Amino acid sequence: MPPGADARQYAFWLASRGAQQMDLAARFSAAALSREVRVLALKGISIADELYGGAQNRPMADIDFLVVEVRRFEAAVRVARSLGLVETGASDHALVFKETASGVVLELHVSLTACPGLFPVDHEAVWERRAPVPGTSMFRLSDEDLVVHLALHTAFQHAFVAGEYHYSDFVRALDSFKPPADRVLARAREWGALKPLGAMAFSCRKDATRSKALGDLLERAQPHCPRAVRRWLEAQAQIPPPMSVWSLARVRYALAPSRRGYARRSVFPKVLPGRTLPRRGTIRRLADLVGAGLFPKTPPRP
């Protein structure tokens, strides 16, 4: 919220920001399509209209797109630059761009979540199941893919330290799209994401009394939530919980389908195609990770 803004000013700012974000998303999607680069809108920008009645009702820090073909990632980067977007940062799974005039941030994802390759997601199958974003030229994840991705994003990538809208997205997607619980569980099993799905459903358990879809999924997915994560969630005074580097490490470690794979991908991330900003060397990065506590000294208790 802009400093000093009252409720009316904030509503106007949200509407303006939402329109700018949707405009850039539409322009980028159309430009990518014209160059035969397949992209999928992710998270807020993909569901703002269907679940919230417009981007002005679903605040977003940025807009996100998954590049379906990794080999075409550099082509997607060129599309972003052709629109005047400037590269401002990177993570292990996304390049960050910013439109100078509007200030809108766009992220290009090489995978659906951090630690690319840790969760075995078949991008081609995801594309085949895609759903249109009504009123736009964009596509989003299918209903069941969307639910599992929202769980991965909030539970694993952010270790539950996410905005309240991330939890609302998960519950609203279940209530509005009503993907069958067995299909959601099957997709999570395919992606190695049963633990994050169970943990996400458990974190939203207070909403299960008013959401039949969540209640049904919670009953079937909760057993997959690791006991250590369940105890940690029960101990939190609030959800979302406050940021803690140690909690981030412990939750990710417990939810990863392969703990060795999680460690390897955290220490030795691949360089994203098309990245131009310099990155830290392996030794410096490892020292930073250890110093920040991204690897638990002992595993979470079973």
pLDDT digits (tens, 9 = 90+) for 52-79: 999 989 999 999 999 999 999 999 999 9
Is 3 inside a domain boundary? no
- Beta strands 131-132 and 63-67 are unpaired
Residue 129 sits in the same domain as residue 202: no
CA-derived radius of gyration, the chain = 19
Residue 151 sits in the same domain as residue 137: no
Closest CA to 112 of 58, 70, 149: 149
Residue 132 sits in the same domain as residue 212: no
Residue 134 sits in the same domain as residue 149: no
pLDDT of 117 above 80 = yes
Look at residue 271 in the predicted model and tell me its pLDDT.
81
Q: What are phi and psi of 90, to 5 degrees?
A: -160, 155
Q: Residue 295: pLDDT band by 50, 70, 90 thresholds?
A: very low
For residue 120, CA distances in Å to 5, 142, 146, 265 come to: 44, 17, 15, 13
Residue 263 sits in the same domain as residue 159: yes
pLDDT digits (tens, 9 = 90+) for 20-38: 999 999 999 999 999 999 9
Return the amino acid letter for 291: G
Report the C-alpha gap between 246 and 13 in whole angstroms: 36
Beta-bridge partner residues of 41: 65, 140
Closest CA to 259 of 287, 219, 228, 235: 228
Is 1 inside a domain boundary? no
199: domain range? 143-302
Look at residue 4 in the predicted model and tell me its pLDDT.
57
Residue 155 sits in the same domain as residue 281: yes
For residue 10, the number of C-alpha atoms closer than 13 Å in the C-beta half-sphere is 10
Look at residue 2 in the predicted model and tell me its pLDDT.
54
The residue that leads in pLDDT, 298 or 192, is 192
Q: What are phi and psi of 84, to 5 degrees?
A: 85, 10
pLDDT of 301 above 50 = no
Look at residue 281 in the predicted model and tell me its pLDDT.
53
Residue 42 sits in the same domain as residue 70: yes
Where helices occur in the chain by DSSP H, the ranges are 7-34, 43-52, 73-82, 123-128, 143-151, 164-177, 181-190, 194-203, 212-221, 227-235, 245-255, 259-267, 282-292
Return the amino acid letter for 212: K
Residue 22 sits in the same domain as residue 90: yes
pLDDT digits (tens, 9 = 90+) for 176-216: 999 999 999 999 999 999 999 999 999 999 999 999 999 99
CATH code for the domain of 134: 3.30.460.40
Is 294 inside a domain boundary? yes
pLDDT digits (tens, 9 = 90+) for 133-177: 999 999 999 999 999 999 999 999 999 999 899 999 999 999 999
pLDDT of 302 above 50 = no
Sign for the CA dihedral angle at 50, 56, 59, 61 comes to: positive
Residue 90 sits in the same domain as residue 34: yes
Residue 278 sits in the same domain as residue 214: yes
Residue 149 sits in the same domain as residue 288: yes
pLDDT of 300 above 80 = no
